[in-house]
């Protein structure tokens, strides 16, 4: 007879309901594949009367998280509610009650990973979190175990499905930013508070977790320089397209001689770049190891079913005992590694895209060229566009690309430009990125 493993799910929204669907519909084949009988014993939600996309047996549905924690036949708790304080308390209580925990909650792990992992070790239990980064892509385990032989010098990721979906829709169909965001919410990609997606916070949460595992140092969420996509307009995406670029919200961890650089920024990459064709809700992560060279992980980074795929994989790892062994042996989680050292900010040197809104009168273009010259920034191209309908406003957009320049110098030039009478609104600045060069060992 198959071993029975009791499951308690706390949170049955986009992800939780997809996990319930797989457990109810694929239960037999999962047992056939693993010899384990996963028994769904509790589903905990806030509102038990809400309509759900899956039929949950009435006798296991409740709004009381204490029920699965008190049940001796529930072995694994799936935390799928989101947020920070409530799930933190729930997970700590679950560990104290002797349960193992699976979570998809990147915000929680990025902000409180250290104490949570420490509590799990103290309780002799484990935490599995494959779904927290890259949705359905089996990324965490691949980097942690599959690339163990490597010194990793760079990670470049498209880590937010909502932002990638919005940028794709804005460029392909010239859909407005707010309409594209509404579509992403409708499709279940966005966080309960979508600000976390579009302001770059969600990507930064994921980068803090992924970079810590890849670089084997604790990467502090607060040290990540973060900018989201909220100030981008269709004009920028079309201007970039004309110049041969695609805009992606990139999460980057890169080692330099003087420390680690952690950034989440909209970035223009050439159309030939390996990450350029990643569209819609898909995520992709390039990891560069000294032995393996470039590896690229690609898949659906958001949405109920893809994320549930990773959650169920974790449940199986916990149920088979593999997760407990890995967790106890690993010294690479936030409670056991040294803090990373960081490169001073503003040192990045690259070509930049600038969009400056100018009053439609003589001399404005000359003034911005003078400011750039005064800062020692060489202009690579300068194009004045007719105002685009979707952009709105009275300013005439002037697009400048620079030759390779230091970030801090470009920021100083932007400040000076913004003080010119002829300049209207915010100067939009997007760095460009060349493909990372593999280390010479690969
Ligand atoms: P949803 O907002 O869709 O669902 C949250 C669920 O949690 C709801 O069922 C809600 O109940 C329940 N809930 C909230 N607070 C409580 C509480 N105090 N007690 C009991 N139940 C509660 O979130 P998602 O499914 O989108 O996300 C869940 C987690 O997975 C988050 O950490 C998210 O970051 C992560 N994640 C999400 C992905 C996605 O694509 N959506 C992808 C990868 C990770 P009710 O339904 O009654 O309101
Ligand atoms: N809101 C997240 C995204 C879900 O859009 O990528 C996956 O973590």
Residue 407 CB–ligand 2 contact under 6 Å? no
Decide if 420 is inside a domain: yes
Decide if 337 is inside a domain: no
CA atoms within 13 A on the CB side of 415: 7
Shared domain for 294 and 314, answered yes or no, is: no
Residue 141 CB–ligand 2 contact under 6 Å? no
Decide if 344 is inside a domain: no
The model's pTM is 0.96
Determine which residue's CA is closest to atom 14 belonging to ligand 1: 81
Shared domain for 395 and 366, answered yes or no, is: yes
Shared domain for 293 and 144, answered yes or no, is: yes
Domain assignment of residue 82, given as a range? 3-128+306-329
Distance (Å, whole) CA 217 – CA 336: 9
Domain CATH number, residue 168: 3.30.360.10
Shared domain for 93 and 182, answered yes or no, is: no
**Cβ–Cβ under 8 Å, residues 247 and 437:** no
Question: What are residue 381's DSSP bridge partners?
Answer: 401
b (16+ CB within 10 A) / e for 116-127: bbebbbebebbb
Distance (Å, whole) CA 249 – CA 268: 9
Last residue of a domain, one of 294, 329, 364: 329
Shared domain for 57 and 9, answered yes or no, is: yes
Shared domain for 120 and 165, answered yes or no, is: no
Domain CATH number, residue 80: 3.40.50.720
Residue 13 CB–ligand 2 contact under 6 Å? no
Decide if 76 is inside a domain: yes
Choosing from 82, 132, 135 the residue with most ligand 2 atoms within 8 A of its CB, the one to mutate for a pocket test is 135
Domain CATH number, residue 418: 3.30.70.260
Cα of 419 from ligand 2 centre, angstroms: 37
How far is CA 53 from each of CA 42, 50, 196, 235, 322, rounded to the nearest angstrom? 17, 10, 25, 38, 32
Shared domain for 109 and 160, answered yes or no, is: no
Decide if 170 is inside a domain: yes
Determine which residue's CA is closest to atom 17 belonging to ligand 1: 46
Shared domain for 391 and 284, answered yes or no, is: no
Question: What are residue 383's DSSP bridge partners?
Answer: 399
Shared domain for 408 and 289, answered yes or no, is: no
Shared domain for 181 and 315, answered yes or no, is: no
Residue 190 CB–ligand 2 contact under 6 Å? yes
- Is 206 one of the annotated active-site residues of the chain? yes
Shared domain for 359 and 258, answered yes or no, is: no
**Cβ–Cβ under 8 Å, residues 315 and 76:** yes
Decide if 335 is inside a domain: no
Shared domain for 82 and 180, answered yes or no, is: no
Q: What's the total number of domains in the chain?
A: 3
Cα of 77 from ligand 1 centre, angstroms: 14
Residue 127 CB–ligand 1 contact under 6 Å? no
Distance (Å, whole) CA 60 – CA 73: 13
Cα of 83 from ligand 1 centre, angstroms: 8
Decide if 358 is inside a domain: yes
- Distance between terminal CA atoms of the chain? 48
Token reading at 261:
């650089």
Distance (Å, whole) CA 41 – CA 75: 10
pLDDT tens-digit profile, the chain (442 residues): 568 999 999 999 999 999 999 999 999 999 999 899 999 999 999 999 999 999 999 999 999 999 999 999 999 999 999 999 999 999 999 999 999 999 999 999 999 999 999 999 999 999 999 999 999 999 999 999 999 999 999 999 999 999 999 999 999 999 999 999 999 999 999 999 999 999 999 999 999 999 999 999 999 999 999 999 999 999 999 999 999 999 999 999 999 999 999 999 999 999 999 999 999 999 999 999 999 999 999 999 999 999 999 999 999 999 999 999 988 877 777 778 889 999 988 888 999 999 999 998 889 999 999 999 999 999 999 998 665 554 445 788 999 999 999 999 999 999 999 999 999 999 999 999 999 999 867 6
Decide if 367 is inside a domain: yes
Please tell me the predicted confidence (pLDDT) of residue 390.
44
Q: Give residue 169's Cα distance to chain centre.
A: 19
- The residue with tokens 């965001």 is 181
């Amino acid at each position: 007879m198959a071993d029975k493993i009791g499951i308690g799910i706390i949170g049955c929204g986009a992800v939780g309901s997809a996990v319930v669907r797989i457990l109810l519909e694929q239960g037999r084949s999962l047992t056939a594949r693993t010899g384990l009988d996963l028994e769904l014993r509790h589903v905990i939600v806030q509102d038990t009367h809400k309509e759900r996309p899956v039929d949950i047996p009435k006798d296991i549905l409740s709004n009381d998280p204490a029920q699965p924690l008190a049940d001796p036949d529930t072995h694994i708790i799936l935390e799928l509610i989101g947020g920070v304080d409530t799930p933190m308390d729930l997970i700590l209580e679950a560990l104290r009650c002797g349960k193992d925990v699976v979570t998809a909650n990147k915000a929680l792990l990025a902000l409180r990973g250290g104490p949570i992992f420490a509590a799990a070790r103290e309780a002799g239990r484990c935490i599995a979190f494959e779904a927290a980064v890259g949705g359905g892509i089996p990324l965490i385990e691949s980097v942690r175990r599959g690339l163990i032989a490597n010194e990793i010098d760079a990670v470049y990721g498209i880590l937010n499905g909502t932002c990638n979906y919005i940028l794709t829709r804005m460029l392909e169909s010239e859909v407005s930013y707010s309409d594209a965001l509404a579509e992403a919410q409708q499709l279940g990609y966005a966080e309960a508070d979508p600000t976390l997606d579009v302001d770059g916070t969600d990507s930064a949460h994921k980068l803090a977790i992924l970079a810590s595992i890849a670089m084997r140092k604790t990467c502090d969420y607060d040290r990540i320089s973060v900018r989201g996509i909220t100030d981008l307009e269709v004009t920028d995406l079309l201007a970039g397209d004309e110049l041969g670029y695609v805009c992606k919200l990139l999460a980057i961890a890169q080692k330099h001689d003087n420390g680690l650089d952690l950034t989440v920024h909209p970035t223009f990459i050439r159309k030939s770049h390996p990450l350029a064709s990643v569209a819609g809700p898909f995520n992709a992560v390039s990891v560069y190891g000294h032995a393996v060279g470039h590896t690229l992980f690609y898949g659906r980074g958001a949405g109920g079913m893809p994320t549930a795929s990773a959650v169920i994989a974790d449940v199986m790892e916990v149920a088979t005992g593999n997760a407990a062994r890995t967790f106890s042996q690993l010294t690479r989680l936030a409670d056991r590694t040294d803090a990373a050292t960081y490169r001073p900010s503003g040192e990045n040197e690259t070509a930049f895209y600038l969009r400056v809104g100018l009053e439609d009168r003589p001399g404005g273009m000359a003034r911005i060229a003078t400011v750039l010259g005064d800062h020692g920034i060489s202009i690579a191209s300068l194009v004045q566009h007719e105002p685009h309908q979707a952009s709105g406003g009275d300013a005439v957009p002037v697009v400048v690309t620079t030759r390779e320049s230091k970030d801090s110098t470009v920021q100083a030039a932007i400040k000076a430009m913004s003080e010119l009478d002829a300049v209207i609104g915010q100067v939009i600045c997007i760095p460009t990125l060349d493909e990372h060069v593999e280390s010479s060992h690969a």
